[in-house]
Structure 1
C-alpha cells in the first residue's frame, strides 16, 4: 500500500511570512503522495474587520453569518489557497487548489441548531476518495481550503482540523496515511512556557489526565480530539509538531498512540 502524508496547517503559520516559507520548503520535500489542508482564521478576521463584518466566536469556533461566509470563501478559497499554491509551484511541487465543492471532493450538511446557531457551518458527510486518488496518481498535490458544499448550491465554513481528520480516515482504506497537524510549537507541551517540554508520545489515557489537570487546553483540544479520531478509524500515524520536521526522516514532535 502506498504512503500518503496529510498535513494540516493553521493561520498562525500562514500569517507569518518566515514560518509560511518554512512550511512551503519542508512540505515540498515530503516524498510520495501528499495533501495540504489549511485554515486561515486570522486572515479572515482581519479581512472581515476591513469590510465591516463582525466576527463572532464561541469556544474558538467561528459563527458564520451570510456576510461572514462571503468573507471566508474569498479568503480561504481565494487569497490563502492561491498564495500557498503559487509558493508550492515555486518549489517545483505541482500543487492545485481546491475547496470541498470542487470535483465534489467533500460533501457536508449544515450543522443543526442545538444550543448554538453556528450559521453557515458544515459537518462533513462524505469524502470523494476516487477523485482524490485520481489527482494523486497524476502527481497533483491537492491544497484544500476549509470549505465544503451540500450539492444544493450551498457552501459551508468547515473546521480545518476536522477536515484533515476525516480525509485521513477516508483515505486510509487506499493508503498508509500519516496525518500531521502543523503549528508554531515543536509539539504538545507539558509546560506551555517551555518549548523543550514536548510530550513525545501521548496516549488517550495520558491526554485525559493532562486535560483534567489543565495542562492541555484551548485550541490544542480539537486538534487532539480529531487526531485520536483519525487514529482510531484507520490512520497509521498522527503527529503534532512544527513545520521544520516535515521533510525530515527522523521523528520529531508529539506522536499520538491509542
Structure 2
C-alpha cells in the first residue's frame, strides 16, 4: 500500500512584496497561517540595483537577466543573503514561524554550475541541473520544524557563490522534493494570475492544463512575458510537482482557508 506524501508548499515572492514593508508584513503573516511544511524563495533585484548605484557600481542587464561581475556578486550576496533574507527571517520569527535563512551553500543545499559563456558572458551566474538540490539536507530542516527561506544564491562546490534565478531555484526545489512530498509550487506576483487581458484583472484564467496551455499559446491569448514562467511551470509538473499556482501575493491567505486563488496549472 502506497504511503501518503506530506504536503509541501514552495512559494516564490517577487519585488512587489519585498519592496514594500506593508506588503511583506501581510504576506509573511499569511505564510505563517499555512500549517503545512513550507519553503520560501526570494530574490531582491530592485534593492540590489539601488545599493549598486549608491556604491557607484553600474548594473548591466541583458533580456532581464543581471550580468554578475565580481563587484555585483559582492552586492547581491550582501543584499540577497544578508539584508533581505535576514529581514524576512526576523519578521517570520515575529509571527511564530521558526524560519532559517539560507543560500545554497548553507548545508550544501543547492549546488550550481557557472553559466557557460556563449554570445554573452553573464559572469558569476549559476545554472541548476537535476542533481543540484540536496533533498536530504532540506528534509532534515523540515523535519526539525524549520521553514527554510532561500535567497537567490547557490554555490559550485568549489568555494564560489553564484547568483541564480529565484524562479529557477523554486522550480528545482519543487521537482526534487516531489520525490518525498506532495509539492505545490506557488509563484506570487502583482497580478491575480494568468490573464486573458493584461489590463483587466477580471479576465483571470482559473485553471489551465497542458492541452489548454498549448491552445492558448497558439491563439496568442497569453502575454508573452508570462510564457517563460508557464513553460517552467509545466516542466515542474512533468517532473512530479502536483500543481503550480500563479497568483497575487495578497491572496496567499486562501491557502490556509482551503480556497482557490490565482491560476492553477496541472496535467
Deviation at 1:208? 4.2
Q: Deviations over 1:17-55 (max 9, x none)?
A: 221112111111111110000111111111111111111
Rounded to whole Å, the distance in 1 between the matches of 2:74 and 2:50 is: 14
The residue number in structure 2 matching 1:165 is 171
The residue number in structure 1 matching 2:247 is 241
1:256 aligns with 2:265: yes
Most deviating of 69-78 and 190-199: 190-199
1:215 aligns with 2:219: no
Deviation at 1:99? 0.2
The residue number in structure 1 matching 2:150 is 144
Q: Measured at CA, do residues 19 and 222 of structure 1 come closer, stay the same or move farther in structure 2, by a change above 3 Å?
A: farther
The structure 1 segments of at least 4 consecutive aligned residues displaced by more than 6 Å after TM superposition are none
Residue 9 of structure 1 contacts residue 38 of structure 1 at CA under 8 Å; is this kept in 2? Answer: yes
The residue number in structure 1 matching 2:204 is 198
Residue 30 of structure 1 contacts residue 246 of structure 1 at CA under 8 Å; is this kept in 2? Answer: no
Residue 183 of structure 2 contacts residue 242 of structure 2 at CA under 8 Å; is this kept in 1? Answer: yes
Residue 14 of structure 1 contacts residue 20 of structure 1 at CA under 8 Å; is this kept in 2? Answer: yes
Q: Runs of 5+ in structure 2 lacking a partner?
A: none
The aligned runs of 1:1-258 (5 Å cut-off) are 1-125=5-129, 126-211=132-217, 213=220, 215-218=222-225, 220-248=226-254, 249-258=258-267
Residue 22 of structure 1 contacts residue 243 of structure 1 at CA under 8 Å; is this kept in 2? Answer: no
Q: Measured at CA, do residues 61 and 208 of structure 1 come closer, stay the same or move farther in structure 2, by a change above 3 Å?
A: farther
Residue 210 of structure 1 contacts residue 216 of structure 1 at CA under 8 Å; is this kept in 2? Answer: no
> Normalised by the size of structure 1, how large is the TM-score?
0.95
Q: Deviations over 1:137-193 (max 9, x none)?
A: 011000000100011110100000000000000000000001100111111111111
Q: Measured at CA, do residues 206 and 58 of structure 1 come closer, stay the same or move farther in structure 2, by a change above 3 Å?
A: farther
Residue 24 of structure 1 contacts residue 87 of structure 1 at CA under 8 Å; is this kept in 2? Answer: yes
> Normalised by the size of structure 2, how large is the TM-score?
0.92
Most deviating of 198-207 and 21-30: 198-207
Alignment coverage as a number of residue pairs: 257
Q: Runs of 5+ in structure 1 lacking a partner?
A: none
Residue 9 of structure 2 contacts residue 39 of structure 2 at CA under 8 Å; is this kept in 1? Answer: yes
